[in-house]
């Protein structure tokens, strides 16, 4: 029985020599995951910032004076009619 206990102690999971490398690997994995998370967050923030700036600049680049809702509807209707007239066979 004493031999079984001795062999269990040698190969046991609580052995300090085998636990130390696992802890350092765990720390390395956690550190890498933290770095990856920071990179993902940074990329997401810069992408959203770029999209916001793009949408703001689109609004400023609108040609001509401001139009009412009805004026925009008339314009789109006229554009559709002109397109349908061009597509009709003669």
Measured distance CA(83)–CA(76) in Å, rounded: 11
* pLDDT for res 36: 96
Average pLDDT over residues 41-68: 79
Q: HSE of 62 in the Cβ direction (CA atoms, 13 Å)?
A: 8
Structure tokens, 83: 């397109």
13 has a pLDDT exceeding 60? no
Average pLDDT over residues 61-71: 76
Average pLDDT over residues 33-44: 95
* pLDDT for res 6: 47
* pLDDT for res 56: 67
Average pLDDT over residues 81-86: 84
Structure tokens, 33: 């995951």
């Amino acid at each position: 029985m004493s031999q079984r206990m001795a062999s269990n102690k040698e190969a046991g999971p609580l052995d300090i020599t085998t636990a130390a490398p696992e802890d350092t690997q765990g720390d390395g994995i956690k550190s890498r995951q933290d770095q990856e998370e920071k990179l993902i967050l940074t990329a997401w923030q810069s992408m959203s910032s770029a999209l916001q700036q793009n949408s703001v600049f689109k609004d400023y680049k609108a040609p001509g004076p401001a139009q009412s809702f009805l004026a925009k509807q008339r314009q789109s209707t006229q554009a559709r009619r002109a397109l349908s007239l061009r597509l009709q066979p003669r």
